[in-house]
Amino acid sequence: MASISGVWTPILVATIGAIASVSGSWLTAGKTAQSATDDRLDERGTTVEEVQSHVQAADSQVKVAIARTDSVVRRADRLSEAVVQVTQKLQSLEIKLPTIQKLCSAFTQGKWRDSFIVPQNWTREQCRLFQMSVGAEIWQLGCVYPNDISLGADNGGVPPRNECDW
């Protein structure tokens, strides 16, 4: 009689081989199916790599936007500091206007008058040109004092108290 191990050994080896082969195929098929599922995240078939690429692109855009915002904020801070400095300097200036100022007046008798304080270097001719530019019939030179106004005669007469140097 033949030994059991002699007859059954090839059968056992073949059976184990077949089981191993089927198990390996099953594991490989399962892994392939899992891998395909893992690689596709939605019904359109978007892959993990595509999503990661989109996330990286969006991250880059966010970083650029943050950098630009930071730059704008820094510039706004510098501008704000400059405005504060200029404001402080302007507040510290003591602007003293002359106490006596030149006045140029143009008018049409009984209808309207336009008068304004002019720079100290204005001439009689400039006042006359102003009168013509506004279509007035008459013009007057004057001096403005802290508590008084002195007007000259119509059409260029110098004020009686000509302390403003017409």
Q: What angle do CA 166, 130, 164 make, to 5 degrees?
A: 15
Query: Order of strands across the sheet with 112-118?
Result: 112-118, 101-108, 138-145, 148-151
- Domain assignment present for 42: no
- Domain assignment present for 13: no
Q: Rounded to an integer, what distance in angstroms lies between the CA atom of residue 125 and that of residue 142?
A: 14
pLDDT category of residue 1 using cuts at 50, 70 and 90: very low
- The mean pLDDT of 10-14, rounded to a whole number, is 56
Total structural domains within the chain: 1
- Domain assignment present for 60: no
Top-confidence residue, 37 or 123: 123
- Domain assignment present for 160: no
- pLDDT tens-digit profile of 76-106? 888 888 888 888 887 787 766 678 999 999 9
- Domain assignment present for 85: no
DSSP letter (8 states) at residue 45: -
- Domain assignment present for 43: no
Top-confidence residue, 112 or 45: 112
Q: Are strands 138-145 and 112-118 parallel, antiparallel or unpaired?
A: unpaired
- pLDDT tens-digit profile of 25-82? 555 555 555 555 555 556 777 788 888 888 888 888 888 888 888 888 888 888 888 8
Q: What is the pTM of this model?
A: 0.43
Of 115, 113, 111, nearest in space to 102 by CA: 115
Domain ranges, residue 143: 101-151
